[in-house]
Amino acid sequence: MKSPVSIVIPMYNAERHIRKVLEAVLNQDYPSPVEIIVVNDGSTDKSLERVKEFQQTDNVKVIDQPNQGAVKATNNGFKEANHDITCSVDSDVVLDISWLRKIIKEFDDPMVGAVQGYIKTPEGVSFLARMAGYDLEYRYDRLKSKYVTQVSTANTAYRRSAVEKVGLFDPQFKYGYDNDMSYRLQKAGYKLVNKRDAICEHYWKADLSSYIKQQYWSAYGRMQLLQKHKERIAGDSVSGLRMILQVPLTLLFFILFFLGFISLSYIRGRYIFLASLGVLGIMLIDRFLFAVGIFIKQRDLSVVFLPFVHLLRNMVWSWAFLKWGIGLKWVN
């Protein structure tokens, strides 16, 4: 008989998907008891009502708290968990029926601190949701080993004793707290595993405003990570140097474009302007090659627009970098 497991689901305004999320957790083909803890982080929609429907028939515990953010919600769930293997599952992630059974096998190795499943793009989602999902799938597909340097709280089982040893998730982060935990676990000697056959579906934010907001805070979190973990300047196994270089290249493009535009010399300005177009061309070629790799797998012609989505993402990342830099200057 396998060990009992706790599953923590931090939730904020998740009424659209939370029913499917809970049904998937409850239907796991896992032979031992599963403790389910939903942490309602001050939702203003009908999320809490949806969860309470399950409390009538299933063993679902609810922690109802004022809005404090995903990090504190996750930490509060972990504090309430009763089992050493404690999973973090996002409120828009639907687990495959065998996810837990496959994940748990990796913990036979006592030095494994966390195990993440494979995030798949659901069918029928919006264009931006597909682009975000395809992007992440492609980066996971390129991993050469099951041992990785970063796992995401979207669908990861943690050895809670390891998490408690290094400290819970750092509340200074809005995004990137899972990366921070990954780095700290590795520094403590634990291994991180990406379990390819433990599949889930992630229902990404679908509209342009949500996409931009998510990318902004993701980039801001990356800057915070670099401040705390300077040795990770080249990224990790999921978000590597190729991805991180998009920000300085985008900033270089805008700097050259602006200098060319304001140059008093027509000839000098033209060459600077052409140099800016060269930088833009390098980014577009790299993103088109990236998109080709995705198309080979997905066979979705809409990925032809992915380079332009990534250019938008690069601009949002660059703005986040500048805002972070200004904020850091104020602190100093």
Per-residue model confidence (pLDDT) at position 140: 94
pLDDT (tens place) for every residue of the chain, 332 residues total: 578 999 999 999 999 999 999 999 999 999 888 999 999 999 999 999 999 999 877 789 999 999 999 999 999 999 999 999 999 999 999 999 999 999 999 999 999 999 999 999 999 999 999 999 999 999 999 999 999 999 999 999 999 999 999 999 999 998 999 999 999 999 999 999 999 999 999 998 778 999 999 999 999 999 999 999 999 988 899 998 898 899 999 999 999 999 988 886 777 888 998 999 999 999 999 999 999 999 999 999 999 999 999 999 999 999 999 888 877 544 43
10 and 41 Cβ atoms separated by less than 8 Å = yes
Strands 34-41 and 93-95: unpaired
Residue 135, pLDDT score: 95
Question: Could you tell me the end-to-end alpha-carbon distance of the chain, in angstroms, rounded to an integer?
Answer: 55
The structural domains of the chain, with segments of one domain joined by +, span: 5-206, 245-331
CA–CA distance, 133 with 206 (Å, rounded to integer): 11
Cα–Cα dist 329/332, whole Å: 5
Report the C-alpha gap between 157 and 193 in whole angstroms: 10
Q: What is the pLDDT of residue 328?
A: 59
| 38, 46, 274, 321 from 8: Cα distances, Å | 6, 19, 52, 32
Max Cα separation, the chain?
Answer: 78
Q: Which amino acid is at 225?
A: L
| Whole-prediction pTM | 0.92
Query: What's the pLDDT score for residue 331?
Result: 41
Rg of the Cα atoms in the chain: 21
Residue type, 233: I
Q: Under a CB-based contact definition with an 8 Å cutoff, are residues 209 and 160 in contact?
A: no
For residues 85 and 5, the answer to whether their CB atoms sit within 8 Å is: yes
CATH number of 5-206: 3.90.550.10
